[in-house]
A and B are shown apart, each in its own frame.
Chain A
Amino acid sequence: MSALAHIGGSTSGSAPAAQPTPTKRGKVAYLLLLPGVLWLIVFFVVPLVQLFTVSLQSKFPGYPGYYYRDVNFGNYLTAVVDYWPHFARSLLYAGLATLLAFILAYPLAYAMAFKAGKWRGVMMICVIAPFFTSFILRTIAWRQILSDDGWIASALNALHLLPGGHITETWVAVVAGLTYNFLPFMVLPIYASLERADPKIIEAGGDLYANGLTTFRTVTLPMSMPGVLAGTLLTFIPAAGDYVNAELLGSDISTKMVGNGIESQFFRVVDGYPTAAALSFTLMAAILALVFLYVRKYGTEELL
């Protein structure tokens, strides 16, 4: 919407004489926007409003599974009181996974952008290739990799480095799964921002008395911040709402995330709809607030 206002504003402002052209261009712009806007209204705004009304409904006493329209904010209270450990785990696991993904992705993206040469294409395919397999299947594969008789767990057990004896059914497996599944979303934006950077700018750092490490800290890293910011958002937001990793790699109770709470309220608990909807809205609000603070602190002009 702001882009549209900008188009209309700038053309009519700079060339008031050529009145017919801007209006025509404006019409075309609106026409081109129409399918996308309609799509958003039908498949995003309407369900969102619907979900919000559900989150305020009350149970019909005596008729399990029936609700009536209400303004029952108690659902939100129930959601927060009953599920605050899930919220905490969601944010913690997603935060850890984002941090780990960043640590893994940055050197990889850096190598792809500056060092890979002719191998760049191959590395890119390696990053993208997992997408050709289903998300669920890949997560199940991790259950095998991390299983008790898998080589990682048995090696660690042999060295007495695994306190509980298991990797699966622990938060470690959940965070590992989240990290793995969202890694490409961290790699690609960082790679894009590094690849776009003029290598001469990095050379200029060296030319101006900064050694390799200082050049990285003062030039390369700040220049790639838009990519880092995009990557962390693309990793953190879906990871915080994820329930597949906790379901497949975690334990029954102690590693459940909000996503699992919502899923069970929707599909497994009779009368759970309002609580599930309230959980969904609370999660959305929490993520929005965190993202807003994060972008305010680290954001660059390009993103705001």
Chain B
Amino acid sequence: MAGFREAQGDLVLENVTKSFTTFTAVDDLSLTVPRGSFFALLGPSGCGKTTTLRMVAGLEQPTSGTIRIGNTDLTGSRPYERPVNTVFQSYALFPHLSVRDNVAFGPKRRGVKDALAQADATLSLVQLTHLAGRKPTQLSGGQQQRVAVARALVNHPEVLLLDEPLGALDLKLRREMQVELKRIQTEVGLTFVHVTHDQEEAMTMADTVAVMNLGKIEQMGAPDVLYDLPRTKFVANFLGQSNLMSGHVDDTDGDNVVVSTAQHKLRLRKSRAAAGSGDIAFGVRPEKTRIHNADPGPAAAGNSIGPGTLVDVSFTGVATQYLVDVPEAGRWAVYEQNLDLERIDSRPGDTVWISWDPGHAFGVRP
């Protein structure tokens, strides 16, 4: 039993599948989380991210595949045998115990002699020393969240699992806790695996983000890389917003491929295209585009579309958001920062064109 608990190293999932009677929650998933990194599993509800987390915790057993930490195979072991602790979505604090006893619960079970002293030290790490004697119900949501983090951290787990830990907090508190969790992770240097459906949360906190959909990982990488170059339609739409239209690669032009859509011939860097030939979905992020009230002309031939009809203009302060209906390309969004002294005075119904820097376009599998 102690063998499991001594496990050290990277968290490795190999061909892990979890099937329930009516559906497969996790489908042949393999991934490696390097020791000491902050890893985020991002996806919509029902994508299998929580099931993955619960399998790492030992609260579910995989139907097939193995889960290892370093060289120790944890598959089949019980939750209490694993060097893994969870911060639950609902915090799951013990209502009958004080904050201090909640945090000391793990150390006590492991037979640590100075359990209470360790609990106090961890409570000071999350800045809750002054509330140690209270019961969980007497704390605010944010405070309960910190207790839940402390209760898991005090055990110095090899892997700390966070199951949507900020979901129940309001926006301001969530921002604070994001910074706080990142600080704690840097301070203690443990492996954090964070499950969330909030793409911004995943990107601000994690070193590596894995985007999950239908039980599989769609794409994995550093947040900026993932955002800049999504490889699938799902990632392009789930991680931020994308303007996408379907086309066909039918030519090359130096470093670029030429994508033909219904109305336009567009250029795309070869390195940014998911396919060198055949069907492709051409995409640009809304904030990488600009709006024009005249045709930008042949100079922008491969990296502009139009004419389209402006359907909505919303001024948000830092930026203005335009929605444009382009025939055969669907509805495009354009975010323009309000940098120009003289703004284009466009109104819904105007005819407009959209252009972008060719390096920003990407092509994903249709």
Given contacts A203-B88, A207-B79, contact A223 B96 (CB under 8 A): yes
The answer to the question of A208 belonging to the interface, with a C-beta cut-off of 8 Å to chain B, is yes
Asked if A211 contacts B88 (CB within 8 A), the reply is no
Given contacts A203-B59, A206-B79, contact A198 B106 (CB under 8 A): no
Is the CB–CB distance between B151 and A208 below 8 Å? yes
> A223 and B79: CB pair below 8 A?
no
Q: A204-B86, A206-B80, A211-B80 are in contact. Are A225 and B96 (CB under 8 A)?
A: yes
Within 8 Å CB of B95, what residues of A?
201, 223
Residues of B within 8 A of A214 (CB): 109
A225 CA to B94 CA in the complex, in Å? 13
Please give the distance in Å from A75's CB to the nearest CB on chain B.
45
Determine how close the nearest CB of chain B comes to the CB of A227; give it in whole angstroms. Answer: 12
Cβ of B249: which chain A residues have Cβ within 8 Å of it? Answer: none
A207 touches B109 (CB 8 A): no
User: Contacting B106 at CB < 8 Å: which of A209, A225, A300?
Assistant: A209
Assess the B109–A209 pair: CB atoms within 8 A: yes
B117 interfacial contact with A, CB 8 Å: no
In the assembled complex, B85 has its CB within 8 A of some CB on chain A: yes
A198 in contact with B92 given A203-B79, A207-B59, A207-B80 (CB within 8 Å):
yes
Establish whether residues A209 and B80, one from each chain, have CB atoms under 8 Å apart when the complex forms: yes
B93 touches A201 (CB 8 A): yes
As a 0/1 sequence over residues 178 to 208 of chain A, the CB contacts with chain B under 8 angstroms (1 = contact) are 0000000000000000000010110111111
Q: Given A208-B155, A211-B80, A218-B105, check contact A203 B110 (CB 8 Å).
A: no
Neighbouring A residues of B182 by C-beta, 8 Å: none
Say whether B78 faces chain A, with CB atoms less than 8 Å apart.
Answer: yes
Contact, CB under 8 Å: A210 / B92: no
For B155, what are the chain A residues with a Cβ–Cβ distance below 8 Å? 208-209
CA distance A209 to B5 in the complex (A): 10
Give bound CA distance, A36 to B90, whole Å. Answer: 39
- Whether B90 lies near A198 (C-beta < 8 A) is yes
Which residues of the partner chain B approach A207 to less than 8 Å between Cβ atoms?
Answer: 57-59, 79-80, 84-86, 152
Q: Does A150 contact B (CB under 8 A)?
A: no
Complex contact B59–A210 (CB within 8 A): no
Contact residues in B for A219 (Cβ distance below 8 Å): 94
| Residue A130 is within 8 A (CB to CB) of chain B in the complex | no
A-facing residues in B68-97 (Cβ within 8 Å): 78-80, 84-86, 88-90, 92-97
Shortest distance between the CB of A114 and any CB in chain B (Å)? 14
Q: Which residues of A contact B106 (CB under 8 A)?
A: 208-209
- Output the least CB separation between A192 and chain B (Å): 15
Interface string of B106-139 (1 = CB under 8 A from A): 1001100000000000000000000000000000
A299 to B353, CA, bound (A): 73
| Beta-carbon nearest neighbor of A224 in chain B | B96
Contacts of B84 in A (CB 8 A): 207
Q: Point out the residues of chain B lying under 8 angstroms from A200, CB to CB.
A: 88-90, 92
CA distance A209 to B85 in the complex (A): 9
**Can you name 30 A-B residue pairings with CB atoms under 8 Å?**
A200-B88, A200-B92, A201-B92, A201-B95, A203-B59, A203-B79, A203-B92, A204-B86, A204-B93, A205-B94, A206-B79, A207-B57, A207-B58, A207-B86, A207-B152, A208-B80, A208-B106, A208-B151, A208-B152, A209-B80, A209-B106, A209-B109, A209-B110, A210-B80, A211-B78, A211-B80, A218-B105, A222-B94, A222-B96, A225-B96
Besides A203-B59, A208-B106, A209-B80, 12 more A-B contacts (Cβ < 8 Å) are: A203-B92, A204-B86, A205-B94, A206-B78, A207-B79, A207-B84, A207-B85, A209-B110, A210-B80, A210-B105, A211-B80, A222-B96
